[in-house]
Amino acid sequence: MAKFIVGTSKGLKGNVAISGSKNAILPILAATLLTEEECVIKSVPVLSDVTALCSMLSDMGIDIVFQKEQEAIWIKAKNILKTEADYEKAGKLRGSFLIMGPLLARCKEANIPLPGGCPIGSRPVDLHLKGFSALGAKTQQAHGSIHITAKQLKGDKIYLDFPSVGATENIMMAAVLAKGVTTIVNAAAEPEIIDLAVFLKKMGADISGEGTDTITITGVKKLHGAEHTVMPDRIEAGTFMIAAAITKGDIMIENVVERDLKPILAKLSEANVKTEKIAEKTLRVYTTAKLQPISLKTMPFPGFPTDMQAPFMSLLSVIKGTSVITETVFENRFLHAGELQRMGAKINIESRSAIIEGVEKLTGTQVKATDLRAGAGLILSALAAEGKTEISDIYHIERGYYHIEKKLKKLGADICKVQ
């Protein structure tokens, strides 16, 4: 098993280019099933989740060429040989369930194992199924899989009890080929929803309201191929912003969309971290004064993203004073607190809140990544800690960060990957 060995790294400095978004590429790849024609996707992050989904689609008869050096995928779903996903592959990948909407729309059936992913809490698929049912689909569940069929999908008004990103995406993709008009009320408004809608529109879909809580989709008879460049990864960008702050560095972060980062930038400002727009897609992040403790609460967009909670906890653990983080999205997303405590952090968990008393210093030790974002948080803590930190279970991290160790090393970090 591979590990990261991280040493004290003060004052990271330089430029880092942000990769395409992990949370945007997976639904976009799924959406290519909606057409027989070739699609070209650019700025593809070379991540284990992406290669896993490509492998699963290839098993279903989809033609895929993934040029990793060019960060581009050519994909053509002319012949979908089967509508059943491989049980073992799909069970390890949360994004696997996103192919259900496109398969239902195009092939009128799908058989998908219940999805896997990080152990950060319950992420039921009931809202996805509720949406499909409203469109006229019938669902059966047996042996850990969902089998869903529909003779003809018909548009309807669908209210989501929670603004689920995955459910919003899945219902959007099912509805683009449905008969009539579909309205999703209390829809997710994340930037990744907008990116998916942009791609679907390039394919010929009729969608409006993306980025708001009400999305309207008017079904069309057929979609065609399209070319699309994936949006920058706002969570990777936020992670490198924390790297600048926690090491008291000065980093130019390239390929970012400032509006997508507003809640992150607001909390960095509260903590006294400086951000400066240098160019259209470049932000400078640095510190000039004493950092301040803050309170934050994770919320659906445009609130503070749950995926940035762990990196911020790492930063707040070394800021003198009391900070409070309240997690409202996932009920089991404080597993990394125990690992930070091993490094000397003072964190008290009370229900869905973490009370953090900043310490003078953290100390390097052996820790393990409990999930994707927790792993990124441990790297950040290790950069600021005294001595060496050994981080295991880094396969979690590599699900969402492309060569994070190489990017950090280029900025001056003491980090290496060992087998």
Q: Which residues belong to the active site?
A: 118
| Helix 335-342 / helix 372-384 crossing angle, nearest 10 deg | 20
| Helix 126-134 / helix 100-107 crossing angle, nearest 10 deg | 20
- Residues facing 76 on adjacent strands: 38, 63
Strands 181-185 and 157-159: parallel
Closest alpha carbon to 336 in 300, 292, 379, 388: 379
Quote the CA–CA distance of 110 and 179 in Å, as a whole number.
19
- Residues facing 363 on adjacent strands: 386
Assign 155 to helix, strand or coil: coil
Half-sphere exposure of 268 (CA within 13 A, CB side): 27
Interior/surface letters 70-97, b for 16+ CB within 10 angstroms, e for the rest: ebbbebbbeebeebbbeeebbbbbbbbb
Cα-Cα-Cα-Cα dihedral of 62, 68, 73, 79, to 10°? -10
In 177-313, beta strands by DSSP E: 181-185, 206-208, 214-218, 227-229, 250-254, 274-279, 282-286, 295-297
State the residue for tokens 């990744």: 192
Return all residues near 418 (Cβ < 8 A) that are at least 6 apart. Answer: 2, 3, 4, 5
State the residue for tokens 């953090």: 356
Q: What does the block give as tokens for 170?
A: 């899945």
